[in-house]
Amino acid sequence: MPDLTYTVSMKEIAQEAGVSVSAVSLALRNSPKVSQKRRQEIERIAERMGYVKDGRISELMEHMRSKRSNRQMSKLAVVIPDLREQDLKEYQRFEKLLSGIEAQCLASGYGTDYFYLSDMKVSPKRLKSILVSRGIRVAILLPYLNGVGTIDLDLNGLCAASSGYSIIEPNVNRACPNYLQMMDELLEQALALGYRRIGFIMAYKSGGTGHKLFASSYLYYSSQLDEEERIPILARRDISEMNIRKWMEAHQPEAVISSGAIYQTLQKIGYTAPNEIGFASLDLSYEPTDASGVDHRHDLVGQEATRLALSELSLNHTGVPENPMVVTVDSHYRTGFSMQKVGDPVNIKIRATAAG
């Protein structure tokens, strides 16, 4: 019986049969381009030598040999946990994520198949069976609209990655906005414009990674101020029109870093940027998109998440990784209407530099 732990190559069969490698390839595919007599002879030699066909390579080569017009593009699954398809246009962040995923898929020769779980209302087991039946081996898990959560999907046989920190289980490789760098950049820009009293209203839910990283950067900045100059963070749980008014009156910030929704409240209670107050947005995906603030570059996050998943596929790494990786994408500060120069730059160092 042949030793199946040793793989005989077509080149070795060709040498034994005294023919070319291409002739062996054609014969073993039962091609009419090789005579029946020669084909049978090559098959006998291959069997005697213990040749075993590699099904994966055969499938790939058959795909490559097919006419381009007849080829079926391999697809990647995009799993959206709690956003309905009809609501997509209301969330620019998700539109940009999908745009980035689609761009990277196109560049890598893949199509996309979308699975809106809120619309489908299928069990995790049924979702897995759909992916398997469609021959899908790669999945990108999009974040929840708010907060953190899990997706109960069996990843055995699948290569997966996530965008953002929202999906805590399964803990796969993920691409994320660089929240720490964002707040550092917002503070640096405000200080460069001469704002001395900078307040922060936390619009993110507590416990999430974005919440912690934003707070870490702001508290580091505060630690460099004299105690009487520090402005406490207004926590999300305390946000109301009345509490924002009290906080503004008590601490008198010259500039506020927060979300677009908080800016609307500031306007409602009489603070208009940039004259009455400087305002910097935590995410310019949301109105007012022409304010000063940071672009999370969600399209690049989508691209990087796709690269991570396809990299796992190329390495044939499936399931939940033993040591998940996080790739961070730096934000981009955009100057808008809501900040203006109010004085000389304030000399507070937020980030280390080569000069120390």
Instruction: Please state whether beta strands 159-163 and 138-141 pair in parallel, antiparallel, or not at all (unpaired).
Output: parallel
Strand, coil or helix: what is 14? helix
Strand, coil or helix: what is 255? strand
pLDDT single digits (tens) 145-160: 888 889 999 999 999 9
Please, where in the chain does CATH 1.10.260 lie?
10-69
Q: What average pLDDT does the structure give for the chain?
A: 89
- Is the predicted pLDDT of residue 3 greater than 90, yes or no? no
Q: Which residue(s) pair with 160 in the sheet?
A: 139
For the segment 56-64, the average pLDDT, to the nearest whole number, is 55
For the segment 326-355, the average pLDDT, to the nearest whole number, is 90
Q: What angle do CA 121, 127, 133 make, to 5 degrees?
A: 135
pLDDT of residue 142: 96
- Residues 117, 82 contacting (CB under 8 angstroms): yes
Number of neighbours of residue 227 by Cβ within 10 angstroms: 7
pLDDT of residue 355: 52
Long-range residue pairs from 9-17, CB within 8 A, at least 24 positions apart, any chain: 10/51, 12/49, 13/42, 13/45, 13/46, 13/49, 13/51, 16/45, 16/49, 17/41, 17/42, 17/45
> DSSP secondary-structure letter at 201?
B
| Range 43-67 burial, b when 16+ CB lie within 10 A, else e | bebbeeeebeeeeeeeeeeeeeeee
- Residues 148, 166 contacting (CB under 8 angstroms): yes
pLDDT single digits (tens) 91-105: 999 999 999 999 999
The amino acid that residue 251 corresponds to is H
Please, where in the chain does CATH 3.40.50.2300 lie?
75-177+298-330, 179-296
The CATH number of the domain covering residues in 10-69: 1.10.260
What residues have CB less than 8 Å from 79, skipping those under 6 apart?
115, 117, 127, 139, 140, 141, 142, 151, 153
Strand, coil or helix: what is 52? coil
179-296 falls under which CATH superfamily?
A: Response regulator (3.40.50.2300)
In which band, very low, low, confident or very high, does the pLDDT at 207 lie, cut at 50, 70 and 90?
confident
pLDDT single digits (tens) 33-49: 888 888 889 989 988 88
Q: What percent of the chain has pLDDT over 90?
A: 70
In which band, very low, low, confident or very high, does the pLDDT at 55 lie, cut at 50, 70 and 90?
low
The encoded tokens of residue 38 equal 């020669």
The CATH number of the domain covering residues in 75-177+298-330: 3.40.50.2300
